[in-house]
């Protein structure tokens, strides 16, 4: 089967979408499928064709104001039409609901190529985080139109599937995210790295990994870390990631270690060398970092939202708080920091839970959805022979 992936982002960019698509594409290629990629031209020089791709089309893109690393692909109907007329895919996977995604969906419709869409980003939620809450409703309606023009929409959690289905989205199917349990493992704990943080063998290290942006609930992360410092002055706080919120967060947490983005090979040792993982975000569709922390054997604190509600059995494989309980989140962080035996128990159970989410099984779900779309008539698309 020839699959075309349409995405705003791709490796080596660091974000959940690029991470997920990288794993899915490698699994698909290993099973003999042929892949194409459509994406915006990267901001930094890159090869004309990414690893594993039979063909690649790079279109014009623009960076978001104040957030250069996030790029939107511009509509490219003529180039997409020519690209697919020369090498017609059997099915298109739309990982973006931006202008490029709409353009690709329109061209695929005219050429009768079936599409499956992915729900990778809660754009309607971002309206609240960026000061335009009145746009949330119109954005949600626009997203519903987009996804209902595809033959299926793949979402990471059952909670999200129920929410979208109730709101009139059709063809919603669940595709969780996976983990490499060897790469993310307690075996990568590094005493020398802990020494760099000023942590001894029994010093609690609190970790956060993620993009440092308004939608990530940075205010609660800041408040929780301040409370931790006051209750446990010997604790060490490590924050991995970067973004427009870093400067203000660093000013509020002068004793924390801010690493910025780090190489992929170093990330596993940072997880494994910590003891407690804080994940206050409420904007995620999933939250890959939570699964990575759990696989690394960390006690985790999150909300009953996205991956938190799917992965965490409260006080067994982590702590999962009600989404409106910011005080409970902060208090849980302070309490768990002071309970090493409980942290160890939660971390052991967290790893067992995470290992159930292997990428081969996730790829099975992905490919089954694409095969079903290829073989099922929908609108002006029709099934094509293999």
Q: 330 burial class (0-12, 13-18, 19+ CB within 10 angstroms)? A: buried
Please indicate whether residue 22 or residue 132 has the higher confidence score (pLDDT). 22
pLDDT tens, residue by residue, 187-239? 999 999 999 999 999 999 999 999 999 889 999 999 999 999 999 999 999 99
pLDDT tens, residue by residue, 354-369? 999 999 999 999 999 9
Q: Do domains 2-178+359-375 and 186-354 have the same CATH topology?
A: yes
Q: What does the block give as tokens for 9?
A: 């982002």
Torsion of CA 157, 163, 165, 166, to 10 degrees: 160
Q: What pTM was computed for the model?
A: 0.89
pLDDT tens, residue by residue, 161-191? 999 999 999 999 999 999 999 999 999 999 9
Is the pLDDT at 134 greater than 50? The verdict is no
Is the pLDDT at 273 greater than 80? The verdict is yes
Q: What does the block give as tokens for 349?
A: 């159970």
What is the arrangement of strands in the sheet containing 55-59, beginning at the earlier edge strand?
55-59, 34-40, 2-6, 91-94, 115-118, 152-155, 172-174
Q: What does the block give as tokens for 67?
A: 């957030």
Total Cβ atoms within 10 A of residue 182: 10
Which residue in the block uniquely carries the two structure tokens 């971390």? 347
pLDDT tens, residue by residue, 29-70? 999 999 999 999 987 777 778 889 999 999 998 876 655 666
Residue 140 — pLDDT band, cuts 50, 70, 90? confident
Strand partners, 249: none
Total Cβ atoms within 10 A of residue 193: 18
Is the pLDDT at 353 greater than 80? The verdict is yes
Average pLDDT value for residue range 98-113: 96
Least confident of 2-11, 281-290, 373-382: 373-382
Residue 131 — pLDDT band, cuts 50, 70, 90? low
Average pLDDT, the chain: 91
Give the pLDDT of residue 367. Answer: 98
Is the pLDDT at 146 greater than 50? The verdict is yes
**Do you know the residue count of the chain?**
386
Q: 152 burial class (0-12, 13-18, 19+ CB within 10 angstroms)? A: buried
Give the pLDDT of residue 356. Answer: 96
Average pLDDT value for residue range 89-113: 96
Q: Which CATH class is domain 2-178+359-375?
A: alpha beta
Strand partners, 3: 35, 91
Least confident of 60-74, 75-89, 278-292: 60-74
Least confident of 84-88, 95-99, 212-216, 375-379: 375-379
Least confident of 24-33, 105-114, 124-133, 356-365: 124-133
Say what angle helices 264-272 and 288-295 make with each other, to 10 degrees.
60
Is the pLDDT at 277 greater than 80? The verdict is yes
Spatial neighbors of 111 by CB under 8 A, at least 6 apart, are: 81, 84, 85, 88
The SS3 call for residue 61 is strand
Is the pLDDT at 92 greater than 90? The verdict is yes
Is the pLDDT at 106 greater than 60? The verdict is yes
Q: Which CATH number fits domain 186-354: 3.40.50.720, 3.40.50.1970, 3.40.50.2300, 3.40.50.2000?
A: 3.40.50.2000
Give the pLDDT of residue 379. Answer: 47
Spatial neighbors of 70 by CB under 8 A, at least 6 apart, are: 8, 9, 63, 64
Domain residue spans in the chain? 2-178+359-375, 186-354
């Amino acid at each position: 089967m020839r699959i075309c992936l349409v995405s705003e982002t791709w490796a080596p960019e660091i974000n959940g979408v690029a991470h997920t698509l990288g794993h899915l594409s490698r699994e698909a290629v290993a099973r003999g499928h042929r892949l194409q990629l459509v994406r915006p031209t990267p901001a930094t020089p890159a090869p004309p064709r990414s690893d594993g791709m039979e063909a690649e089309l790079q279109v014009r893109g623009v960076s978001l104001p104040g957030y250069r690393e996030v790029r939107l692909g511009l509509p490219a109907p003529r180039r997409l039409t020519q690209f697919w007329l020369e090498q017609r895919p059997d099915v298109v996977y739309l990982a973006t609901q931006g202008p490029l995604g709409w353009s690709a969906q329109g061209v695929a419709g005219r050429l009768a190529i079936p599409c499956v869409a992915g729900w990778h980003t809660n754009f309607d939620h971002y309206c609240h985080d960026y000061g335009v809450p009145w746009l949330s409703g119109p954005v949600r309606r626009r997203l519903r139109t987009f996804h209902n023009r595809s033959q299926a929409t793949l979402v990471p959690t059952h909670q999200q599937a129920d929410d979208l289905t109730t709101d009139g989205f059709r063809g919603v199917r669940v595709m969780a995210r996976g983990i490499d349990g060897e790469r993310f493992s307690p075996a990568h704990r590094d005493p020398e790295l802990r020494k760099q943080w000023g942590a001894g063998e029994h010093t609690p290290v609190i970790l956060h990994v993620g993009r440092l942006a308004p939608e990530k609930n940075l205010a609660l992360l800041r408040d929780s870390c301040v409370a931790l410092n006051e209750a446990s002055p010997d604790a060490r706080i490590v924050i991995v990631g970067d973004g427009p919120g870093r400067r203000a967060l660093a000013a509020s947490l002068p004793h924390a270690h801010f690493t910025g983005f780090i190489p992929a090979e170093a990330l596993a040792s940072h997880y494994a060398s910590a003891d407690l993982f804080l994940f206050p975000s409420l904007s995620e569709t999933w939250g890959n970092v939570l699964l990575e922390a759990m696989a690394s054997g960390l006690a985790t604190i999150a909300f009953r939202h996205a991956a938190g509600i799917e992965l965490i059995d409260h006080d067994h494989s982590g702590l999962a708080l009600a989404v409106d309980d910011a005080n409970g989140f902060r208090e849980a962080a302070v309490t768990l920091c002071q309970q090493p035996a409980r942290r160890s128990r939660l971390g052991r159970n967290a790893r067992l839970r995470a290992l159930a989410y292997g990428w081969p099984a996730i790829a099975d779900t992905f490919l089954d959805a694409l095969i079903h779309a290829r073989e099922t008539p929908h609108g002006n698309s029709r099934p094509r022979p293999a």
